[in-house]
Structure 1
Amino acid sequence: MGEDISTFDFSSYLIKHRKSVEAALDASLGPERPEQLREAMRYSLLAGGKRLRPILCLAACEFAGGDSVLALPTAVALEMIHTMSLIHDDLPAMDNDDLRRGRPTNHKVYGDAVAILAGDALLTRSFEMVALRSPGVPVERLLKVVGELSLLAGAPGLVGGQVVDLECEGKAVDLETLEFIHLHKTGALLKACVVSGALIAGASADLLDALCIYAKGIGLAFQIIDDVLDVTASSDVLGKTAGKDLVADKTTYPKLLGLDESRKRANDLVIEAKAALKPWNKNSAPLLALADYITNRDR
């Protein structure tokens, strides 16, 4: 059976790791030139947020028996890639959004050109974090992490998912295509977080397989809840523009399945994700709690 999480203090766990992630993010972009580019990078990278992705990386490292401190540079790298994707997604040529994490989007403050370059700089800095700023981690493990990040950030991951997403705007989309989009846009990043953390710890092939099943489940569940919140929550609560999927005429899980069935689908996916970890009892409480957090969040 999996670890009993009833006594696990998830709130304290989140606070502890968020503090370490925020400090590491701040330190990753020190005084450097050109100043405008650095400011644009910091504007989005340090804009707050749940920091769910880097925390997943740290939790997966712990789950695999590793020291999460060694995974912190990789966790920062993953948040940089996530931030890059948000900056680029918000651009007029993409989702054309004006609000992100409760304040104007990057291009609204710095202009389209600098926003694009800030995203590019964050992406390349992410590889630097892994390759050059990860002391104490065996080189062969870092090489595997670089491979994961490459797959995540390119055509097999975020870029491919975004292209299909753009192609499908205003068109009827079936569930298979919708899941393809979200497994690549949302799921690929969550998978990379979980796998990278485990790789830093030197996880076995069997453990990595189980974590991939876990990551796929929470990745789709996360996006389903995002789709639900886009319909049910306000912009003030979300910190981003609510109802934008409807305006863009995008196919979403609520549009295909309805709200109740969408919530049920997300819950079922989380149950499947957690079940994948049952053979491994030790250190599973943070990952189990994170899976529940995904479906119970309100933003």
Structure 2
Amino acid sequence: MNATSGKPFTQRLEATASATEALLLELLADKPLENEIIRPQRLLEAMRYGSLNGGKRLRPFLVVESAALFDVPHSAALLAGAALESIHCYSLIHDDLPSMDNSDLRRGKPTAHKQFDEATAILAGDALLTIAFDIITRDEIHPKAEVRLKLTRALARASGIGGMAGGQMMDLAGEGRFGDKTPPDVEKLQQMKTGALLHFGCIAGGLLGEASVKDYAALDIYGKALGEAFQIADDLLDLESDAATLGKPAGQDDALGKTTFVTLLGVDGARQRLKNLVSKADEALAGFGDRADVLRATARFVAERQN
């Protein structure tokens, strides 16, 4: 049974965030696990700094709520969500590095390389990426090794060359980092860089619940629509908000010369596309009836968020 069942959307989101925080703290404990030798304290501190005390934990929330459609045990879904969040946090640490986006502020506090140093930040990101695959393969996730394998493969592909990392490379190329500036295919770029991990959060519940082909396809469509909606909302916030509200520098996209949905479609066009994507996400969930109301509310939350 989902520990947050029966609670309003905001309370459910906050409850999953708190549970994820506690689980990450447990996973990043001082004591080494079997076949580990020691856990260097400075590295642990940097990993905790980059992954604790911040964020809405939207990605693990998507895992928990998509899994709830199939009555997956909450503890198993939360563990899978923690693996996903570890990869998300690693990506933020590396994104902020001087060689990438060169950001000094994240979630209202100094970025990891500012708080520690660049080498420590790089290793903290590496270690968070690696521990994610330790977590996602654990027996507690699912009794069937085949299900754990499918989850692991899906997470790797969402994170790697054809997913987030590949999207980041396309983003840098679009800034002109490697020669002539060539505007990227924004839709594919954002499906990879931002959308891939959000999409995984949605299909993970279907994988954990051994969903039917029809139900899995519905979550697949929902996840893709949600991922694009998140990025469009992010592009609009970067243009229209400020650092105090965002907890990170505003106007970064324009400063770095990024091609975004807003530069491609204009503000009004981006807002209309965002509205259409929320409708598409809602329609994809029709077969689940009111059991998917929380996921519907999540799509609206993503579109309407202020930070």
1:97-246 counterparts in 2 under 5 A? 97-132=103-138, 134=140, 136-170=142-176, 171=181, 173=183, 177-246=185-254
Q: Please, which of 257, 269, 294 is the counterpart of residue 302 of structure 2?
A: 294
Return the TM-score normalized by structure 1. 0.93
> Is contact 1:63-1:282 (8 Å) kept?
no
Amino acid at match of 2:129: L
Gapped regions of structure 1 (runs ≥ 5): 1-6
Amino acid at match of 2:304: N
Q: 1:277 to 1:109 in 2, by over 3 A?
A: same
Distance 2:263 2:212 in 1: 40
- Give the superposition deviation at 1:16: 2.1
Structure 1 equivalent of residue 29 of structure 2: 30
Distance 1:82 1:271 in 2: 26
> Is contact 1:60-1:194 (8 Å) kept?
yes
Farther off after superposition, 63-72 or 273-282: 63-72
Q: Deviations over 1:44-99 (max 9, x none)?
A: 10031111010001000002332222111110000000001111111111111111
Gapped regions of structure 2 (runs ≥ 5): 1-5, 32-38
Aligned length: 291
Distance 1:284 1:226 in 2: 24
Matching of residue 255 in structure 1 with residue 263 in structure 2 = yes
Farther off after superposition, 234-243 or 253-262: 253-262
Distance 2:275 2:63 in 1: 22
Matching of residue 51 in structure 1 with residue 62 in structure 2 = no
Farther off after superposition, 232-241 or 7-16: 7-16
Higher RCO, Cα 8 Å, sep 6+: 1
- Give the superposition deviation at 1:156: 0.9
Return the TM-score normalized by structure 2. 0.91
> Is contact 1:51-1:79 (8 Å) kept?
yes
Structure 2 equivalent of residue 14 of structure 1: 13
> Is contact 2:96-2:102 (8 Å) kept?
yes
Aligned Cα RMSD in Å? 1.5
Distance 2:10 2:141 in 1: 29
> Is contact 1:48-1:101 (8 Å) kept?
yes
> Is contact 2:88-2:197 (8 Å) kept?
yes
